[in-house]
Structure 1
Amino acid sequence: MVYFTHILLSNVIPISILIALGALLQRAFHLDIKTLSKLNFYLFSPAIMFKMLYESAISLAILGQVLMYFAVFMILQYGLVELVIRVKRYTKGMKSAMRNSVLFYNSANYAIPLNQLVFAGDPFTQSIQIIIMMMQSLLPNTYGVYSVNAHKNELKATLRTIASMPVIYVIPTAFLMRGLHVPIPQPVYTPINYVAGAFIATALVTLGVQLGSMKWQLNLTDVFLSNFLRLAAGPALGFLVVLLFGFTGPMAQALVLSCSVPTSLSSVLLAVEFDNEPEFASQAVFASTVFSIFTVSFVIYLLQFIA
């Protein structure tokens, strides 16, 4: 009950307030959602990723283990989603939207505070979550961009679009500067902090603007199927991979918790930026965030059985 209340008060209600503000602003002023999505992709998201990686203390040993886990987990999750897609016989656009709604999950503004709560701010488990966050930021800007463009653009055009994503350059730059102990002048680091701090609010308001402009022709079957694959099948597969590699203790618990969170806002930003099923993407994010109150609380309860 403690975790249920905390998730509700610390994650779902604040997220819902910002989404509601975005919807109200859209109704009142008819905001340009394309401009908002570009701000998220090209400014706010790269800034927060650089800041978190530059300030983190991640060992190479932990990095290797977590990346190995993440690779196997994503392969299994992708295989499960692909099976569902083939059975459902979705259109090309809907195929990529469904994949993105399951494969991309909220590993930053939802999972990091959740990790700090469950593990009492343990630096070790937090470093694990930061690595997952890094990969969950890289994938939407590479595979995610490819998936929503492959069925309508030539490969060269899609690759040019991927190459224009700042995050793919920010990640190695942050690691290199941290590894070489390169200091950032305060006049430069101050605006980075300002921009990074604006990411969560801007991304959530963007989701609210998209929800506020929708006709709300809700496809319950597809949205609930996406939520089930993300919130139920996701942590189940995570637990399976933990057993496969023989991870135990806080590492195993942090890894399972990391893949139990709701669908990422990046799936909405991709859908809006590249006009690929934005209504489904927005509904999947909103519904999974609400349902995660119950599913994540249950996963936290089960963590005690991972020795």
Structure 2
Amino acid sequence: MKPILTITLNPTVDLSITAPAITPDRKLRCSRPDTDPGGGGINVSRAIHELGGTSTAFVAVGGPTGDKVMRLLAEIGIGLMPFPAPGETRQSMTATDLSSGAQYRFVMPGPDWTLAAMNRALARIVRAAPTGGLTVLSGSMPPGLPDDFPARLAARTARCRTSLFLDTSGAALQTLRRAATPPADVLRLDDLEAQHLAGSRLDSATDSADFAASLVRDGVARAVILARGAEGNVMATAEDRWCATAPQVPVTSRVGAGDSFVAGFTLAIARGAPLPEALRHGTAAAAAAVMTPATDLCRARDVRRLLPQCRISRL
């Protein structure tokens, strides 16, 4: 299996609680919180571990909350490469209203980064990127980090002979599209991010494939994956286009579905699967994740059960 490095520059300690009802101007009697280490790359490493794979998590941590992130990762058994963050690691909270099933997510910003801290992190990541392996950047960028960080990472890792997978959004995604850098190997976007970047609705799988193919032609990535929610996922390369149909499953929480997809896809590639098969594994992992509560990710037994129901077709 190829080695995997995940990158999380804005990790969090995720707290998950429930309350009988969430209403204003009153004390809410909540459940005891479940506590998990969070952030895109960390979640990818957690899901890879659940699926029987291994990875190393490059995590920027600071203060007592950062110490807790490292302790939680060590308890899971995930290899850790800590980097000193320029401030206290953030916390986030997911609150579920048991009367309605509505879920509320409170996401803190994290510490402010300087260009000097960013350059130190880039240098450390380049040294850590596994030659012949996979490097995954996933999750939100911390305050102060320039929008072109994913583009800078693509430029620096192009010399490292590591495959770069990006799961990013917002201004960073817009900047990546304009940057004249070597393409990432894989770029993933969720459906809302893709429509925002396209500037139009993507009503069909063919629309999504057309837009993904345009990003490949623009040199953003060699393979572009667009999530289509409950429908599944679409992927385009310079040579072909595929659609992976998602199985119909009961939805408990959509938190972590994207990270579970990246984990299933990345692990399949690391084990030597071709791109269409990796797309199928990612789709099964995402479907399994929505069946679990709050910040829980996919479960291996669910992925195994759902995998035969994920069908690949050419577009």
Q: TM-score range by the shorter chain?
A: under 0.3
Larger RCO, structure (CA 8 Å, separation 6 or more): 1
Query: Which of the pair is proportionally richer in helix?
Result: 1
* TM norm structure 2: 0.25
